[in-house]
Chain A
Amino acid sequence: AQSVTQPDIHITVSEGASLELRCNYSYGATPYLFWYVQSPGQGLQLLLKYFSGDTLVQGIKGFEAEFKRSQSSFNLRKPSVHWSDAAEYFCAVGGPLTGGFKTIFGAGTRLFVKA
């Protein structure tokens, strides 16, 4: 079955420190992978996506993610976190095996940023 696991329910980092949010997926072929961010009470905003090609993907707001097929992972990174990055982050997988239109979301990781 197709699934997404985000092992960390919440993470706290200091402002200016580096960040890595973990995402592992289960998918029977090459997946389409996404990272979304959601501020409280708001909709989801796409940070970046991987469909094919270069396994290191650059996104908005200084985020990047690396697709590692051997580890079934798509971890999100940022070299220096800003207080405004505090939000909920969702990893998601899609593709023909999920029925095309269906995107499977992970449970989310809440990021707290301390001064």
Chain B
Amino acid sequence: DTEVTQTPKHLVMGMTNKKSLKCEQHMGHRAMYWYKQKAKKPPELMFVYSYEKLSINESVPSRFSPECPNSSLLNLHLHALQPEDSALYLCASSQDIAGGTDTQYFGPGTRLTVL
């Protein structure tokens, strides 16, 4: 099974709402990632978790709060977002090998619209 699942597929929220994005993988991967992708742009790394600990935070605003409850799950909690945060949010996972670089498997993404 090389699948990464993400829910919901689409999300529309107001600027005062609190919502969460969920990501799940059952490949035994110990590294999990959140990316943000704007239209016609490449994915931008937001966060990396390695063995359920936050390893990389690419200076992401605090209105985005990641959480890794266990080795299979990754959440992204959203609060007080801005319209410019509207984007496709992609989750990925990989083996946590020495050096960290390995093939990343991506989920289908959550299309987020902030009104």
Contacts and interface: CB of A to CB of B under 8 A. Distances in A.
Given A41-B109, A42-B108, A107-B41, A102 B103 contact: no
A90 B103 contact: no
B42 A90 contact: yes
A10 to B, nearest CB: 10
Nearest to A91: B42
A32 B101 contact: yes
Q: Is the interface of B mostly helix, strand, loop or mixed?
A: strand
Given A42-B108, A43-B106, A107 B42 contact: yes
A105 B41 CA distance: 10
Interface residues of B, number: 28
B99 A96 contact: yes
A96 B102 CA distance: 11
B13 interface: no
Interface stretch (A11-19, A44-52, A67-75, A76-84): A44-52
Interface in A22-50: 32, 34, 36, 41-46, 49
Contacts of A99: 56, 100
Interface string B2-34: 001010000000000000000000000001010
Given A41-B88, A95-B99, A107-B41, A101 B33 contact: yes
A96 B99 CA distance: 6
A90 B90 CA distance: 15
Interface of A: 32, 34, 36, 41-46, 49, 90, 94-96, 98-103, 105-108
18 contacts: A32-B101, A36-B106, A41-B111, A42-B109, A43-B90, A44-B90, A46-B103, A46-B105, A90-B42, A90-B43, A100-B100, A100-B101, A101-B31, A101-B48, A101-B50, A102-B45, A105-B42, A106-B42
